[in-house]
Amino acid sequence: MKRLPLLASLVLTVWLVPSNAAHAADPPPFWAPTIPAAPTPTPRTSSPPSWSSPSYSGPSASAHAAAPSDSTFASDVSIALRVVERYWSARIVGFRPVSRIVPYRIDGEVMCGTQPIPTQNAAYCPVGDFIAYDVNWSEDVYQKLGDAFVFYLLGHEYGHAIQQRLGINYQFTIYQELQADCFAGAYIGDSIKVGDFTLEDGDLDELKSGLFSVADPEGEPWFKEGAHGSAAERTGAFFDGYEQSLDACDMPSTYHG
């Protein structure tokens, strides 16, 4: 996925899995499920629709030449965060970026309130309003699944920060997670439409593969605390936002876009 450089501050965000040991005053956190070592099989019940590359016109050749010459993980993280902040600042009156981005490498190196953030995760932490990510895990995902999925991952976690700002708090975790998937899809799809991102061959396949990889195990109860959604549900929520923008994401009445 090619990107145009944008002027904006860089920040990251993190969500934690609720724990019975968490302090009562701590808002419930949400974790992205760990990507399994082996490829996740296609669910027996359903599969995501076949998606073709959109016909949006991207930046000109000269604009491509102005983009960063390397496509390293650090460069893509920086650009993705700049674009996601630009995206939400144009859609929420009085938008406030997250306080900071916190990379880490070991369990417990970063705390969200009273809860240590485990490795192999990226999460938004409402206590302190920051995003944290395991550098080793994230780079491994980047190498295995491709650069496009990193843009989804950061968009998803930033989606939780947006939920916090808009006061969105569903009864069941799965709704919180699927809306964050929809937010990520809207941010990526809308950014392609205006030329902030240019879709490359294989990017949509990378996104679909990544969404399948982070889906809940088949048969996982939808009402289980910490549930994120099946492969079909996660791909459906993401591509609803990708194609229909925030109109598909159940935005609250307090939203002013």
Q: What is the pLDDT of residues 176-188, one digit of tens each?
A: 999 999 999 999 9
Q: For residues 127 and 23, give the distance between their C-alpha atoms in angstroms, rounded to a whole number.
A: 11
Model pTM greater than 0.85?
Answer: no
High-pLDDT (> 70) share of the chain, %: 67
Which pLDDT score, from 0 to 100, does residue 256 have? 57
What residue has token string 């936002």?
241
Q: Give the pair of three-digit tokens for residue 140.
A: 């491994």
Q: For residues 87 and 188, give the distance between their C-alpha atoms in angstroms, rounded to a whole number.
A: 9
**8 Å CB contact between 195 and 58:** yes
Q: What is the pLDDT of residues 31-82, one digit of tens each?
A: 443 333 323 333 333 333 333 222 222 222 222 222 333 358 888 989 999 9
Residue 48 lies in a domain: no
User: What does R_g of the chain's alpha carbons equal in angstroms?
Assistant: 17
Residue 63 lies in a domain: yes
Which pLDDT score, from 0 to 100, does residue 254 have? 63
Residue 33 lies in a domain: yes
Angle, in degrees to the nearest 10, between helices 203-213 and 147-166: 60
Residue 45 lies in a domain: no
More confident residue, 128 or 24: 128
Whether the per-residue pLDDT at 152 is higher than 50: the answer is yes
What's the domain count of the chain? 1
With cut-offs at 50, 70 and 90, classify the pLDDT of residue 6: very low
Which pLDDT score, from 0 to 100, does residue 203 have? 86
Residue 62 lies in a domain: yes
Residue 256 lies in a domain: no
Q: Residue 6, SS3?
A: coil
Q: What is the mean pLDDT of residues 77-100?
A: 94
Mean pLDDT is lowest, of 19-28, 98-107, 196-205, 222-231, for 19-28
Q: Residue 130 is part of which domain span?
A: 2-38+58-248
Mean pLDDT is lowest, of 14-23, 202-211, 221-230, 240-249, for 14-23
Please give the mean pLDDT across all residues of the chain. 73
Closest CA to 157 of 81, 46, 218: 81
120-130 core/surface letters (b: 16 or more CB in 10 A; e: else): bbbbbbbbebb
Which pLDDT score, from 0 to 100, does residue 257 have? 59
Residue 257 lies in a domain: no
